Amino acid sequence: MKRYLLPISYVFIGLLCYLLGYLRHRSFVLNYHDTFYVIDKTSYNYFILYLFSISALYYFIFRKQSNLNIGLLNIVFISIPIFMYLLIDFLKQNRLPKRYFFENHWYENENIHNVILYSFLIGIGSFLLNITLSVKHLIKSLKS
């Protein structure tokens, strides 16, 4: 049962993020280093669904060879950025006008976006590390 934890959690979190993404009323706008990235709402949701589906499929196929601790690290660092961007988007929807021109909210700070981006990169890196270790373990088991 412990080996099915990662695929089931990827499916659950992926579907949760996919459904929460449809609660947004507009496209997703990301301002990063004075460059605006506009992502359509449905494209963002499909990206979430594909990302979690590929990960769940990998962890289901290689459930005996994959490392559970690296997999949990992977799911945490992949899920946190997606939930953070959904939270930021929800907070931007019902925002009151600023009292001062220079007043910034915590989610408009560029450092928050850097932390989220680095967290996502750590998640992708741990996924690639887990793939490498799984293939190494599979090759070792095939040789013996």
Whether the CB-CB separation of 106 and 91 falls below 8 Å is answered with no
Q: Convert the pLDDT of each residue in 15-71 to its tens digit.
A: 888 787 777 666 666 666 666 667 777 777 788 888 888 888 888 888 888 888 888
Distance CA 108, CA 32 (A): 10
Q: Is the pLDDT of residue 101 over 70?
A: no
Q: Which helix (H) or strand (E) holds 93?
A: helix 68-93
Q: Which domain holds residue 42?
A: 2-143
Least confident of 35-44, 69-78, 87-96: 87-96
Q: How confident is the model at residue 95 (pLDDT cuts 50, 70, 90)?
A: low
Rounded mean pLDDT, 98-127: 73
Query: Which residues are 37's β-sheet partners?
Result: 30
Total domain count, the chain:
1
